[in-house]
Structure 1
């Protein structure tokens, strides 16, 4: 079986697992547009998240499409991550686990490697949260409907789930030895669904079925289209710089509200506007096999409009990352010293507030990997630990371990 065939089989398996595993998230992802769950590849994650200035024909990165020219093989890349999160609030602790749907990217070289076309699939943002809280309410006494109301006890269950997916279709072209450009058309689809159910038992707590049940389902279906433009330049021999920008665009939203006990559903169509986002980064060798890099990404979601409930808490998000990497070598009997080593640090502000305060996340990461025989592909892993939020400012805090795995295969096609 060729490297690409192995990667394709792994992609099918991971997609089925991602669809089947029950996932949960931090309480921070309970509101608004959800948590950023984009996955580039484990090499980028291991060095902190930078990669917009990278171009590697043996380990192609789709973080910046302008880095794809130079490919001599068809490339298939699969990446996903699993996370364990410990959440703390003033009243309770909560442990959750999550396995994301993996991203899949394909690159096809053209014009003797001067150009490339690409397609793929990846998750952008997601929310998966379930909470059950005690409920007390006053209702008429079933034994004396005309008398004083009595206290009924029950539970309130909130389920919020949904993911926004992106299907990028793009290409890249190498203008000369120092400049490459790329662009993609991104089809966005997704859904955000909230289910709220109140189950109220009898006053004495007996009975298997609820005395009163109230249920409401609110669904937002998302349909959007965006473009991303990218450039990669080498102004000096040992310095590479790259940038990407996604202009502002709109999502067509269809909101459906369904309540138990009421006939029919209520449907509302509206549009939300997302602001332009951009990223810029650089990398350069520092000594021997070591290289260093950094990246800054801006997401000015303070300009979000179209959904007042979401926009009220929106802020301008940003992310910066720095890191170093010891590149792989193939010295005979080099042992572990031949493997790559990656270390990185990142910090970001989420695009919305929780508890009236900004949500800040800091993450440290380390990673490594190995190349397949005859350089027909590679396997990379990254392990990171992150701190999100503050109990004093946000009312809760997270501590998250995340394991990222990416698998890439290269196959000659001419």
Structure 2
């Protein structure tokens, strides 16, 4: 029987059923996975980036004062600006995913990490911060093969099929705000954060019988919302030794209410039909950050940082999905797959020259290293807790332009587990950062 003889409704039902089952297959079916399969849940893999300096020191730096960088995680640090500063970052990352049966997949990708622009309204007193960077990324792909019964002329023969499920997109964050130095010890800051983006997943079912049409089911969500971040910074001197510097930094990002539309489409060959659309709101949790920074002298800097996001409070107006056993792409996996997230990081920086401006070139370079441990906010089976561990390192090279540095960072780590039909990701990445700084808006002094 030719596919054209099968009612369109039957094709739709079979395609949806097989495609939706593909979203819940065990991880061992992913022989050609891309990115991380854990980005299928929630709003994707969350992105952490404050500055290229903190990126090489474990990724925190919530209390890390610097005249050469635009720290983004704590707006109170923008009060220290002297230079008008523009920073750009690009990263390359390789991820290898493997399950407990030896199946593996690999992805190599490059992307822009962040673009940041800062300038002082009043030098070392009131500063402006602007930035654009990813908030989350969804990037995965896997396949599942099987057989299913298809009604034909009163019989139900089993027909082999292959379902490829994939995801793409993510949320972006546009941030702008002010940092103000109250006195020599205390700084405060605030920013407005705009979140927007598209999250989409796709399930492509290919039949071994050429008489059956291949079906592509796509689920997506377009979201937009506004939140804000409040920060503070306390700077102390001569705490443990003469001429040392000890800082405490904290910031809180308020819950974000995102409004948007979720859609589902069905593709058959070149035709795309919209099966359903739905408008609703999604509420992302608040996020708290706390950091410590210590500089015993001009050569060394040490940081310890922590962050917490209660993702178990995530909520959504969107319906659960097509069925209880096969939820729709967004909320991906359903809210029951989300857990509270925490992250601990630490790092150090050494500048061999200290404050000696006449030292050799590599003595004036900054050498950084660190690491972090994170409990992921996804919990696919509600029982297994997933973790991510990584080490970081970097070098910061001075240039002939005062206030401008070029940084090269690297990261290597692991994420997830191969137990309970899950996968373990091993990742390695390098990133290049250009931090340009120059004095603007200076008044000329008449003699």
What range describes the TM-score normalised by the shorter chain of this pair? 0.7 to 0.9
* Aligned match for 2:45, one of 29, 35, 38: 35
Partner of 1:66, secondary structure, is helix
C-alpha distance in structure 2 between counterparts of 1:52 and 1:337, whole Å:
26
C-alpha distance in structure 2 between counterparts of 1:93 and 1:231, whole Å:
45
Partner of 1:381, secondary structure, is strand
What is the aligned partner in structure 2 of residue 259 from structure 1?
266
* Aligned match for 1:177, one of 174, 184, 194: 184
- Unpaired runs of 5+ residues, structure 1, are 1-22, 203-208
CA shift in 2, pair 1:201/1:46, >3 Å: same
* Aligned match for 1:337, one of 335, 358, 363: 363
Query: Which is worse superposed, 116-125 or 58-67?
Result: 58-67
* Aligned match for 1:382, one of 401, 409, 426: 409
Aligned residues: 382
Shift of 1:46: 1.2
CA contact (8 A) 1:369 1:381 kept: yes
Query: Which is worse superposed, 165-174 or 69-78?
Result: 69-78
Q: Is 1:369–2:396 an aligned residue pair?
A: yes
Query: Which is worse superposed, 153-162 or 54-63?
Result: 54-63
What is the aligned partner in structure 1 of residue 435 from structure 2?
408
Shift of 1:257: 1.3
CA contact (8 A) 1:357 1:394 kept: no
Q: Deviations over 1:265-303 (max 9, x none)?
A: 421111122222110001112456112110000111111
What is the aligned partner in structure 2 of residue 51 from structure 1?
61
Partner of 2:60, secondary structure, is coil
Q: Is 1:283–2:293 an aligned residue pair?
A: yes
C-alpha distance in structure 2 between counterparts of 1:263 and 1:58, whole Å:
52
C-alpha distance in structure 2 between counterparts of 1:393 and 1:298, whole Å:
26
CA contact (8 A) 1:24 1:98 kept: no
What is the aligned partner in structure 1 of residue 220 from structure 2?
219
- 1:286-297 aligned at under 5 Å gives the runs 286=296, 289-297=299-307
What is the aligned partner in structure 1 of residue 147 from structure 2?
136
C-alpha distance in structure 2 between counterparts of 1:403 and 1:335, whole Å:
23
Shift of 1:328: 6.1
What is the aligned partner in structure 1 of residue 373 from structure 2?
347
CA contact (8 A) 1:59 1:378 kept: no
C-alpha distance in structure 2 between counterparts of 1:264 and 1:413, whole Å:
53
CA shift in 2, pair 1:263/1:52, >3 Å: closer
Shift of 1:224: 0.9
Shift of 1:24: 4.3
How high is the TM-score relative to the length of structure 1? 0.86
Shift of 1:331: 5.0
CA contact (8 A) 1:253 1:270 kept: yes
CA contact (8 A) 1:354 1:394 kept: no
- 1:140-219 aligned at under 5 Å gives the runs 140=151, 145-146=153-154, 148-202=155-209, 211-219=212-220
C-alpha distance in structure 1 between counterparts of 2:297 and 2:64, whole Å:
18
C-alpha distance in structure 2 between counterparts of 1:234 and 1:376, whole Å:
23
What is the aligned partner in structure 2 of residue 205 from structure 1?
none
Moved over 4 A (4+): 261-264
CA contact (8 A) 1:41 1:405 kept: no
C-alpha distance in structure 1 between counterparts of 2:110 and 2:422, whole Å:
26
What is the aligned partner in structure 2 of residue 327 from structure 1?
351
- Unpaired runs of 5+ residues, structure 2, are 1-32, 239-244, 321-332, 442-447
C-alpha distance in structure 2 between counterparts of 1:109 and 1:184, whole Å:
15
C-alpha distance in structure 2 between counterparts of 1:328 and 1:41, whole Å:
21
